[in-house]
Amino acid sequence: MLTFSLLVSLSFTFGHLVAGEITPAALNSVRFAIAALTMLGFAFAMGVPIKPIFQRFWRFAIIGGLMGVYFITMFESLRVTSAVSTAAIFTLTPLMAAGFGLLLAGQRASRLSLVALTIGAIGALWVIFRGDLEAFLKFQIGRGEALFMIGALAHALVPGLLRRLAPNELPLQSSIATILGALLIASLYGARDLIETDYASLRPLVWMVIGYLALITTGGTFFLLQYANKRLQAGKVMAYTYLVPSWVVLWDFLLYGKTQPVLLLAGVGATLVALLMLLKGDATKG
């Protein structure tokens, strides 16, 4: 999940380079299609059976559909609100996932885990708002934030549902099935944009970003999510997303030389402390 957070953070940096050159609906449909074909190729090459994922496929249609809802609401909300507001809403996901994990899979989070999740949320919010308390206090829930809250809830449901509905599938099998479910929802939602987009006129950079989103941010991170979900509680799985804002800050510094307020480092430190607390809890159980 540490690798997961790293790869996801790069998608924000790369996605910013091509923003506005392709509609969100078309981009998501194409990325899911490429990711599905690639993962199917891996499965055939490795001799992993595919037939089981089409048995009771409705399970993955639901799980993948929830991921599709998350991506769709994220891009749609960004049309009417800021990335900071959207990211702030997303910091609630680990705590929501812990609650859904209890309801759906009977996963009881320890007191230490809940404290760590709360510290991580505060640290991530501090990073998102660049250590500016005034900016944090000005945060308001509008139409865009409310829309993305639906997407965040959908994302938070995924770990618990995977444990409940698909406990025995291999990570590669459940990854492929989840991507197919997401592709179904994204294609239905963005059918018009998918047809009307002039793919031949897209710059090579756009295709490079689509390739990264498809192969790494979709195929790779979906696999990592499935793998981790079989070994960690739902809340702990999602807790690693707290690191995403800190990674983005690091990339901005390394790629563009952008510096941030020293106070922002307190938020980065809080997310690291939260993860160390979670890891210590796992080590103690082991």
Does 284 have pLDDT greater than 60? Answer: no
50-67 pLDDT tens trace: 888 888 889 888 988 898
Q: Which two tokens stand for residue 158?
A: 């995924």
| Mean pLDDT of the region 90-96 | 76
Say if residue 251's pLDDT is above 70: yes
- C-beta separation of 96 from 151 below 8 A: no
Q: How far apart are CA 134 and CA 145, in angstroms?
A: 19
CA atoms within 13 A on the CB side of 100: 24
The two tokens of residue 39 are: 């993962």
Distance between CA atoms of residues 181 and 62, nearest Å = 7
Reported as a single tens digit per residue, the pLDDT across 19-43 is 678 887 888 889 899 999 998 998 9
What's the confidence (pLDDT) of residue 286? 43
- pLDDT of 188-245, one tens digit each? 888 898 899 999 999 999 999 899 988 888 888 878 887 887 777 766 776 777 777 7
Q: Which of 87-91, 102-106, 169-173, 275-279 has the highest mean pLDDT?
A: 169-173
263 and 119 Cβ atoms separated by less than 8 Å: no
Rounded CA-CA distance 113/13 in Å is: 30
Domain assignment of residue 271, given as a range: 2-285
Domain tally, the chain: 1
Percentages helix, strand, coil for the chain (3-state, rounded to 5) are 80, 0, 20
Closest CA to 5 of 238, 256, 212: 238
Cα–Cα distance, 60 to 65 (Å, whole number): 8
Q: Is the model's pLDDT at 285 over the cut of 70?
A: no
Between 3 and 241, residue with greater pLDDT: 3
Integer Cα distance of 213 and 12 in angstroms: 10
pLDDT tens-digit readout, 139-161: 666 777 788 889 889 988 888 88
